[in-house]
């Protein structure tokens, strides 16, 4: 998008974003998402992301996100354990190795810097 815009995050239609099998620790979590804006150089990305219950691992980018719905516990290797739910803002640092335990389908709006 090249112009200013508004998006109702709760109702945004998302596309499947399959997880790599090695990321799934337990359960059958499914991920969907939508990039709503990306800078010309591809180094800044804004979007909506959703994951259903289960446990997954990830290596994070530099990200700020706000939880719209659902809940999860995010264990940062060598760092804090974050408990997030609706209205919470969280920051993950590039290279953080995380384990996400998703209790209720979680939807977030995010801003990533690459």
pLDDT in tens, 44-100: 999 999 999 999 999 999 999 999 999 999 999 999 999 999 999 999 999 999 999
HSE value, Cβ hemisphere, 13 Å, CA-based, for 111? 6
What pLDDT, on a 0 to 100 scale, did the predictor assign at position 3?
83
| pTM of this structure | 0.95
Reference 54, options 87, 99, 101, 8; nearest CA is 101
Q: Find the Cα–Cα–Cα–Cα dihedral 17, 52, 11, 38, rounded to 10°.
A: -30
Q: Supply the DSSP symbol for 27.
A: S
Give the whole-angstrom CA distance, residue 102 versus residue 88.
Answer: 15
What pLDDT, on a 0 to 100 scale, did the predictor assign at position 39?
95
Query: What confidence tens digit (pLDDT) does each residue in 9-58 have?
Result: 999 999 999 999 999 999 999 999 999 999 999 999 999 999 999 999 99
Instruction: At 63, list the tokens.
Output: 């990200």
Residue whose entry in the numeric block shows the structure tokens 């800078």: 39
Q: Supply the DSSP symbol for 88.
A: -
């Amino acid at each position: 998008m090249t112009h200013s815009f508004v998006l109702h995050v709760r109702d945004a239609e998302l596309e499947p974003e399959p997880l790599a099998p090695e990321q799934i620790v337990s359960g059958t979590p499914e991920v969907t998402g939508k990039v709503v804006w990306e800078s010309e150089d591809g180094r800044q990305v804004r979007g909506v992301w959703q994951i259903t219950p289960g446990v997954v691992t990830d290596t994070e980018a530099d990200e700020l996100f706000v939880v719209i719905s659902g809940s999860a516990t995010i264990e940062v290797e060598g760092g804090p354990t974050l408990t997030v739910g609706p209205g919470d803002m969280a920051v993950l640092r590039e290279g953080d190795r995380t384990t996400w335990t998703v209790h209720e389908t979680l939807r977030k709006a995010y801003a990533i810097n690459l």
